[in-house]
Amino acid sequence: MDLILGHNQFIGISHISEEKGIDLQKRFFDTVNIYKVVETAADLGYKNMIIETHPKMLDFLNYYLENRTFDMDFYLQVPNIQGYIHKMNEKGFSGLFLELAQRDGIKALSGMALKNVMNLAKKNYFSMAASALQLEVSPFMDVNIKALLLHNVSTDLLLSLQIKNAFTEYLGYVKENLKLNPGFISLNFKLFKDSFNKWGLQEPLVMTPVNPKGFDMNPSQGEVELAIRDYRGEIIAMNILGGGAFSVEETNGYLRRFDNIKHCVIGASSKKHLQEIIHILSNSYEDFG
Interacting residues toward other proteins by CB under 8 A = 12-18, 21-22, 25, 82, 85-86, 88-94, 97, 118, 121-122, 125, 153, 156-157, 159-163, 165-166, 187-188, 191, 211, 213-216, 218-221, 239, 242-243, 245-246
Q: How far is it between the farthest Cα atoms of the chain?
A: 64
| Smallest separation, CB 242 to other proteins (Å) | 4
Whether omega before 79 lies within 30 degrees of 0, making that bond cis, reads yes
The gap from C-alpha 88 to its chain's centroid, in whole angstroms, comes to 21
Query: Given the complex with other proteins, which of 188 and 252 has the nearer CB atom?
Result: 188
| Smallest separation, CB 134 to other proteins (Å) | 19
Query: Given the complex with other proteins, which of 98 and 180 has the nearer CB atom?
Result: 98
Rounded alpha-carbon distances, angstroms, from residue 223 to 178, 182, 183, 226, 230: 34, 25, 22, 5, 12
Half-sphere exposure of 177 (CA within 13 A, CB side): 14
Query: Given the complex with other proteins, which of 4 and 117 has the nearer CB atom?
Result: 117
Which of 279, 281, 247 lies closest to 44 in space, CA to CA? Answer: 279
Amino acid, single-letter form, for residue 30: D
| Smallest separation, CB 72 to other proteins (Å) | 25
The gap from C-alpha 230 to its chain's centroid, in whole angstroms, comes to 23
Rounded alpha-carbon distances, angstroms, from residue 75 to 84, 146, 283: 20, 5, 24
Query: Given the complex with other proteins, which of 136 and 216 has the nearer CB atom?
Result: 216
Query: Given the complex with other proteins, which of 2 and 250 has the nearer CB atom?
Result: 250
